[in-house]
Amino acid sequence: MQIPLHAQRAAPILAAAALALSLAAPASFAAETRQPVAAAAARQGTASHTIPFTEATVTDHNDGTYTVSWQAPGVRAVTVYAGGQPVAHGGDRESVTVSGLPAADRQWFRLVPDQGDPLTLADRSLHLEGAPNFRDAGGYRTADGHWVRMGVLYRSSELAQLTDADLAKLDRLGIRADYDLRAPGERAKAPDRVPRGARYVVADVAGGDVTEVPTSPEQAIELMTAGNRDYVTKDSARTVYSSLLRAAADPADEALLYHCTAGKDRTGWASAALLTALGVDRETVTRDYLASNTYRAAQNKAILDQLPPHDAAVLEPVLTARLDYLDASFDEVGKRYGTFDTYLRQGLGLDDRALAALREALLTD
């Protein structure tokens, strides 16, 4: 929920905090991952999934080293490739460190098991200076063993603070659309720096500016919780999330970006709905939702450290992603629609064809 922070007390600092709240793959990715992903997509519906990895992550340490970790029960050996060259080997459960790779906007790793299909991953974060919560929405395993493609969908906070270097990196990702989930006032105060070639889409979840300002931590929590219920019930929100999921299912071009101000609430529900629609389990969806607290930790601390204790206590529930907020959205789905599938079909108007297109576009075998 958007909560303008221009309360009478500490107004200048709170206004600055509100502004602070308001953040696809490079060409090398095409050579290394786009063809394997396309081949996997072509197999959809004709073969059961054969990727043996149950967990896999890449962590870019920003010092030229990377940690690649995986679990692949039943596999005897895994070879890790980067840039088409083998860079590490391991067994069915490993965590390896890779270094000495050429500089790249985003380093992709291909995990090739001795049996079953390979998996291609990168660090989820884009490590942007002006948008620390800018990250890949994919790279998660579904409950039935598929994987959500990476390099296709990105989630973020506002883009107004992007540096020129950030923007240059995004320009090379081939983003086709920038879905701005913010209200008019937020967009006016902090207009996006739109990646080159991207279509800018106003997708106002709230349906206009919200003027409620919390004066206590308890009221802040109540307002945030109510806002998360609105994401499920409000006409403007359902229209936006329906159009976003339909756009995500369009395979014509790659790389779609969606964001709000902090990249955790309106954006958080967008990712939660998308991942759930794709079959990702609730625990993983929750982990992705709460990860905003990690990516935004330094930014949040800098904001709160400027405030008197009372104002910091009021603002902290607004700045953080909380499990209760996500639960409020899911609880509202159950209350209004009974099941998540019914929410997708009746609430968002997605029929069998639309849901099949979404899964075909975004899932690997």
Beta partners for 90? 78
**Contact at 8 Å (CB) between 26 and 81?**
no
Listed in sequence order, the DSSP H helices in 149-234 are 164-171, 184-189, 217-233
Angle at 132 between CA 162 and CA 361, to 5 degrees: 90
Q: Using CA atoms, how far apart are residues 80 and 302, in angstroms rounded to an integer?
A: 39
DSSP per-residue codes, 125-140: B--BTTBTT-EES---
> Are 158 and 238 within 8 A, CB to CB?
no
Confirm if 2 and 261 have CB atoms less than 8 A apart. Answer: yes
Q: Please say whether the dihedral angle defined by the alpha carbons of residues 150, 155, 158 and 161, taken in this order, is positive or negative.
A: negative
Pairing of strands 135-136, 153-156: antiparallel
Q: Are 190 and 19 in contact (CB under 8 A)?
A: yes
Which residues are bridge partners to 85 per DSSP?
82
Catalytic residues: 260
Report residue 346 as tokens: 């009746």
Across the chain, where does the E strand assignment appear?
55-60, 65-71, 78-82, 85-90, 93-99, 108-113, 119-122, 135-136, 147-148, 153-156, 177-180, 199-202, 256-259, 363-364
End-to-end CA distance of the chain: 36
Strand, helix or coil for residue 113: strand
Provide Rg for the chain, Cα atoms: 20
CB 274 within 8 A of CB 329: no
